[in-house]
Amino acid sequence: MVPLKGHFPPVFGDHFADAAPGAGAGGGPPGGRPKVGVMTDEWGGGAWELLVPAVAAPPRRRGRALQSALRDAVRSGRLAAGTRLPSSRELAADLGVSRGLVTEAYEQLTAEGYLRSDRGAGTWVGDAARRAAPAARDLAPGTAGALVDFRPGTPDLSLFPRTAWGAAQKAALSRLPHRALGYPDPRGLPELRTALAALLARRRGVVADPERVVVCSGVSQAMTLLGFVLRARGLRALGAEDPGSPEPTALFASAGLRTVPLPLDAEGLAPAPLAASGLRAVLTTPAHQFPSGIGYSARRRAGLLDWARTVDGHLIEDDYDGDFRYDRAPVGALQGLDPERVVYTGSVSKSLAPGLRLGWMLVPESLADEVVERKRTMDLGNPSLDQAALAHFVTSGGYDRHLRRCRRAYRERRDALIAALAEHLPGTEVSGIAAGLHVIARVPGRHAAGAPEAVFLERAVSAGVALRPLSEFASARPDDADVRLVLGYAHLSPAEIARGVRLMALAQRN
């Protein structure tokens, strides 16, 4: 460490007590700034100690280290606004460094606004800097306090294929040409669009031209993009399934579109309310309706397409978990029947992980140019390396292998949930097709001892079980005493599922 040539508190105290010639009234700088006063031992042993490691740094880094230490002292408030600093000569002597080093630090921080220097009045801490913000918080949805969390929407993130994904990233980075690291095609890397078109045609039965594939930051961005385009075309509202996910309402609202809830029946969207709505666009989840769990009938799918052609409108298909069907092969996407009337969206949020923020939209030719231009102005495209990694993961067969692994695990967990409900909450009805990552469970009112839904949920929370009722997704409420729950199971092990249902049942009996 560089030896210090003085005793900080007395030396700095002397300098702080005496105002330089030309200072304002009371010893402060011109303009009437209040005098801060003598540098106390607390200041000498606090703020200035921050400089000691800086002057002990290697010579090449000492200047930057001194600047950083002074900057941190101002940001943290240990050097308060209005504090007068020692002259460069005095500070250099006390720290045992060259005067030029201190002068350069003062000049740099003055240029940045942390310090101010008035001719004849010395150097002072400016008032532009504010106390440094606390460490960043994590605002991601959490499960604080829950022993078992049945809330739907999340896959098992522990199944994420870290080794295979790492290999895909390494392979992509080694093969990616230099030009691909420039601003990308806003639609996405050509190799990913080609890989996705082949994958979706094979697995979901879509009509997929790579030129009509737009890579997005998940389905959320796809809907937002589409909302802006439809709004620019004069639409002011679009339909949404009721019950349905509440998130699209906020996404479309950000684009200036109002969502109109449309009721379901046993086959899908009810035809009469849709026909009477006057709408020209509607959001649907036909492969596995969220949250009811029904699959749209062939007759209803054909009826929806007839409606879209009649009103010269579009269906927005959210194929959020179309790969997960456990009792038969998945039903193909609606888009395959009429790619010019259906905007198809999907992502890896349920198949891999939502944190990847990778999704896609298959756009009808009539909307393609407007969607691509809006994508360009929104973010100039998605990160090239992530896209290249996904393209390699798909074309190498890694994605298919991962889906097979997930399907086996999720089928086992769905069976475990149904068995646990039958054992601990007998009479509970599970509805919906054998697909996806959640079920609807209708718990008989007798298990809640006649208590309303709110009491049922409160008791579950007190037992450490996090739940979401169907009422959170629907505008209408049944008039019976049964409690309807949307139970997510994919992210829970069979043992956790059994424990959660047991805790929930015990809580209702106590």
Q: Which domains does the chain have, with CATH numbers?
A: 8-125 (1.10.10.10), 148-152+402-509 (3.90.1150.10), 160-396 (3.40.640.10)
Place of tokens 């997510």: 488
pLDDT at 79 over 50: yes
* Residue 132 binned pLDDT confidence (cut-offs 50, 70, 90): low
Can you tell me the mean pLDDT for 236-264?
97
* Residue 95 binned pLDDT confidence (cut-offs 50, 70, 90): confident
Res 183: pLDDT: 93
Whole-number average pLDDT of the chain: 88
Q: Distance of CA 378 to CAs 150, 305, 374, Å?
A: 35, 31, 6
Specify whether the CB–CB gap between 257 and 230 falls below 8 A.
yes
Res 39: pLDDT: 37
pLDDT at 350 over 70: yes
23-77 pLDDT tens trace: 333 333 444 433 333 333 333 444 567 788 888 889 889 999 999 999 988 888 8
289-307 pLDDT tens trace: 999 999 999 999 999 999 9
* Residue 6 binned pLDDT confidence (cut-offs 50, 70, 90): very low
pLDDT at 200 over 80: yes
Res 142: pLDDT: 65
Q: How far apart are CA 71 and CA 59, in angstroms?
A: 19
Least confident window among 51-55, 141-145, 237-241, 386-390 = 141-145
Can you tell me the mean pLDDT for 105-126?
89
**What are the strands of the beta sheet with 84-85, ordered from one edge?**
84-85, 122-125, 115-118
Cβ-Cβ contacts under 8 Å for 5 (sequence gap 6 or more): 93, 94, 95, 96
Cα 411 to chain centroid, rounded:
27
Can you tell me the mean pLDDT for 326-339?
95
168-192 pLDDT tens trace: 999 999 999 999 999 999 999 999 9
Res 478: pLDDT: 83
Cα 304 to chain centroid, rounded:
32
Res 450: pLDDT: 63
Least confident window among 55-59, 99-103, 231-235, 384-388 = 55-59
Can you tell me the mean pLDDT for 84-106?
90
* Residue 120 binned pLDDT confidence (cut-offs 50, 70, 90): confident
| Peptide linkage before 261 cis (omega within 30 of 0) | no
* Residue 452 binned pLDDT confidence (cut-offs 50, 70, 90): confident
Reference 155, options 268, 18, 323, 307; nearest CA is 323
